[in-house]
Structure 1
C-alpha cells in the first residue's frame, strides 16, 4: 500500500459521540473483559519509576493515566494531551483526585511546546490512525519532548502480514479498523523511528504477537 491512497479523513482515531461517552465500558464488553487486564500489563511493561514525568499522547478517558500514576506516584507528573470533548470530560472526572495529572487541549500532530522535559512519551493505539506524514510529526514531537535517554513507548499493532493473520484479526483490521491501520502494520515501525534519532529498541508482544509495546530510546 502507499500512503498516497489515504487521507486523514479515512482515520477513526478521533472517537466521538456515543462511542466516546462510553468508551471504557464498550472496550471492556467488546473484549469480554480482556482489555483491562491487557492494558494494565502493557503499562507495567513500560517500566515506569516513581517520580518520572510522562507525556501522554491521545490520553482518552484517563484510564491509562491512572494506571501510569500507580507507578510514578505523587512525586511524578503526567501531562495528557486530548482534544475530544467527551474524552476530556471523562478524563477530568476520572483523574480529579490527582493534582499531578494535567489535561491539555492540544493536538499531537501539531507544534508542541515541550523540549527535553519528559522521561517517557506514551501513545496507545493512536499512531496507526494517522497518515504517514503526520506520524512523522508525532514522532518528531516525541523525540523533542524527551529528555536524553528517555523512551518513546508505542502501544499499537505489531508489524505482520495481514493476509496470513487469523481470520478474526483480518476481519478486525479490514472491516472494523480504518484503512490507515493496515498501512501502519505493513511498515517497519523501527525503521520509521530511526531517522528521528532513536537508536535502541525494546519490545513486548501480546495477543499472539499481533499487538506490541515498542520502547524506542532517545540517545543520552
Structure 2
C-alpha cells in the first residue's frame, strides 16, 4: 500500500479530478456538510492525503478549530503539508503519521473523525472503525466517504467498463503507473455494499448510522454517532 501511494502522491489530486471528472470535490463538500461542528472543535481526518477534507472542516469551524490530519504514508503527508502551507492553513493542522488500525490518540479526543476514500485500503476495516469510535468524544460523529455499489442495475456495466478499461489507462498516461490504478479499481469492487458497511459501523458501537448514496451509489457517505 505504501508503494502504491508513494507512486501516485505527486499526481494524486490531478488523478482524482480526472477519474471523477471533478465530482469528488462535490462529494467531499456534501460529506463535510453533514458534520455538526462548531468553532473551537478538534477533528481527526484519517488517510487525510493532500488535505481536501481537512480544508473543508477548517472552513466549517470558521477557521477557529483544529484538524489532526493522520496518514500512514509519508509521501502523502508531505504533499498535504505543502498544499496547506501554500493556502496559509498549516498553523491550524497537526500532522501525524499513523496507522488507522492503531491510532496514537487517547480515548474521547475529537469531536469528529472522518476518512475519505481511504478505508477500503485498510487491511482490517472493522478494527479501523473501532478505533475511530474510540477516539471520538461521546456525542461526536464518525464519517466515512467511500466508493460503494452502484444502485441502478443498468448503470453497472457502463461503470465497470469505465473503471476497468479506462481508469488504469489514465493512470498510465498521467503517473506512468497502470498497476496502482488497476489495484485501486479492484479495491473498490471488493469493498462492502452500503448496508453491509452500515452494519460494520454499528458493530463498532456507533448508533443512528445512516448513509446517503452519491451519484447513484458510485460513492456513499456513512455517518454514525458515539453514545
Query: Given the two structures, how large is their TM-score scaled by the length of structure 1?
Result: 0.81
Partners of 2:150 and 2:216 within 8 A in 1: no
| Larger helix proportion of the pair | 2
Q: Alpha-carbon deviations, 1:156-188, whole Å to 9, x = none?
A: 133567976522322466664354433323470
Partners of 2:9 and 2:79 within 8 A in 1: no
Residues paired across the two proteins, number:
206
**Which residue number in structure 1 is paired with residue 128 of structure 2?**
138
SS at match of 1:166: helix
- Counting only pairs closer than 5 Å after superposition, residues 60-139 of structure 1 correspond to structure 2 as 60-96=49-85, 97-98=88-89, 99-131=91-123, 134-139=124-129
Report whether the alignment pairs 1:170 with 2:178: no
Partners of 1:204 and 1:213 within 8 A in 2: yes
Partners of 2:44 and 2:67 within 8 A in 1: yes
1:86–1:168: structure 2 CA closer, same or farther, 3 Å change rule? Answer: farther
Report whether the alignment pairs 1:204 with 2:193: no
**Which residue number in structure 1 is paired with residue 189 of structure 2?**
182
Query: Given the two structures, how large is their TM-score scaled by the length of structure 2?
Result: 0.79
Partners of 1:129 and 1:181 within 8 A in 2: no
SS at match of 1:152: strand
> d(CA) in 2 for partners of 1:212 and 1:31?
14
**Which residue number in structure 2 is paired with residue 5 of structure 1?**
none
Partners of 2:69 and 2:96 within 8 A in 1: yes
SS at match of 1:199: strand
> d(CA) in 1 for partners of 2:22 and 2:218?
18
Q: Structure 1, unaligned stretches of length 5 or more?
A: 1-10
What RMSD, in angstroms, separates the aligned Cα atoms of the two structures? 2.6
> d(CA) in 1 for partners of 2:32 and 2:119?
17
Greater Cα offset, 75-84 or 169-178: 169-178
Q: Structure 2, unaligned stretches of length 5 or more?
A: 166-181
> d(CA) in 1 for partners of 2:42 and 2:3?
25
